[in-house]
Each structure stands twice: as C-alpha cells, then as structure tokens.
Structure 1
Amino acid sequence: MKHIIALFCLALALTSCEGDQGIPGVDGVDGEVAPAFEIELDFNAANNYEITQTYGFTIVPSDVVLVYMSWETVDGTEIWRLVPQTQFFDDGGVLTYNYDFTDTDFRIFLDATFDLGVLDDVWTQNQFFRVVVVPADYINGLDIENYDDIIQATDIDNFETL
C-alpha cells in the first residue's frame, strides 16, 4: 500500500510541474508552399533559343524546380506537360524543350538535331510555361509528371506572370 501511495504522489508531482514560460516570439508570416510563375516565351536566334529568368529569391538546395509546358488544348482544357518534352519529326529531326536551374535562376531552352532557324513559328512563338518551386517535403510520393497532382499538393491558386 505504501508503494501505491508513493507512486501516486510521484505521478501527481510530475504532472503538476511546469517550467517557466518562455519569452513570446514574433508571429511568423504565412508563406507560399510553392512559388509559381507563368511565362510566355518567343524562342529565336536573337535570344539564342533560350531565356534565363531569376526567381527574385534564393531557393534552398533541397527545393525542386519543375517546369511545365502548355502542350495543347483539348475541349477547352489546357494540357500541361513536364519539361523536357521531345518532338520527333518525319524527316528524322528531333526537337527538345528543356530547362535547368540554380538556386537563383532558371533557364528554358530549345535543343535540336538540326538548325533551329528552320523551325516553324508554331514551335517557337507564344510558348507558355509554368515554373513551380516545390519544397522537397512535398515531392515525396507525388507523380511530378502529373501537373494537377503537383498543383493540388502545393495548394497553388495562381501563377505570377513574369
């Protein structure tokens, strides 16, 4: 019985102890989960068939930059494809839309097995891209090829126009 009373007193003492209250901190600012941009590009010889754009902020090394291209519209719905995207032509030529990124900027560019100057405007003018900077915590388990999954998982409501 003495042991039960001693254990009860010990449990009561431990659950009723509370340390000093710390200094209240400043409330944090809610930030975006994944900053997102939309950019319309015209590829030409003057810009060497590429564009480099800064984010306006520095991303952390674990962040992942994904670029999607508006590939076509079906029944009024835009179809977005993850870049790189490759187009094979009947004459054996290969065109690739590609990108790379650093912690301060990204570059979207064309690569081909032929002279890019012979491309029809449909492949080079008024091309729309969406760039999403995704924290690595959100990437795990997601199909990054699926544009809708990425947008939903990162709760993106709108795209800043660059």
Structure 2
Amino acid sequence: MKTLKISLLLSITFLFLQCSPDNDGTHGGIINRTEQITGTWSIESVSQIDLDAEKKGFPEFATRVDITNALIGMPFSSFTMQIDNGSITTNNGTSAMSYVISEGSGTWSWITNDAIELVNQELGVNASSGIETQINGSRVLFLIKTYTGITGDNPKLSLNYERLDISGSAITRYEYILTKQ
C-alpha cells in the first residue's frame, strides 16, 4: 500500500512538472475600438422605438417598428458612412438620413474617455458608449448599443439615435444596424 501511495504521489508530481502554460502568459491586450469601427458601413435595418411605451412595459410589437423601407423611394440602405481615425464621411444617398446627420465630411470622437471595458449597469451599454460627430457644423451623438459582432466575418454595428422633445427629454429612439463593407 505504501508503494502505491508513493507511486501515485510521484506520478502526480511528474504530471504537474510537465505542465506548462499554453501561451506566453498574456491574455490579450486592450481592444482598440477605434480600429474596430474604422471602415465603410451601410445600414441593414432601422427600427423606431417609442420610449414612453417602452418605459411603461408595453410589449415589443407596440414599442418597436421596422422603418427600413417605410418611406417609398427613400430606403435607409442607400446610406453609407466611412469612419476613419477621427474623421467621418457620410453619403445619405436617397435615404431619409438627412433628418439625422448631415451629408459630407467631418470629425468624430468618443463621447467619454472612460475605459471601454467598463459597463454602465443602468444603461446596459459600454461606458464609452458612442461617438459624437461634427459635420457641416451639425452635431450628432450616436450611442453604440453593443460592440458584439463587429469583429466577426460579417461585422455589424448597432447605433442608437434619440429624438428629443422641446424640453430635452428623449421621446423616440432609432436603432440602426450597420454592416461593414
């Protein structure tokens, strides 16, 4: 019995000594979100969300409407947005995006300088949750709903734009799903 215990102990010790890390000890670096959103994006779908109905707990069919092709001759899919490091160029095409963002070239920056990995529990979105654009003197804030999916084979970006009433309260949210070209 004593021989069995010693053999087992030596075997386990040998196994642990033979184990080595699968990598050099690093677990990846900080993700560069600017690099991930750089490129040309086009709209795949647009949803309009009634924030008052959503706040009251109405079901999704009563709060969300797909308006991607709601305006005849003005499909949102004709909009493209080129994002580079600090610069942005939009082409509204025949879409209704001119009501949201000016066509042309301008600048963009992250809304906050918070660490991107932090999660805002109240909003359920990343702390650096969007970009602020300046095109032709017009300012637009786009909130990034989620970063998931922008690194796969078919990268997607979910942007939110909120329409405010005269008092500055958000009344309608538009969710744009963009695909990277």
TM (norm. structure 1) is 0.30
Of structures 1 and 2, the larger Rg is shown by 1
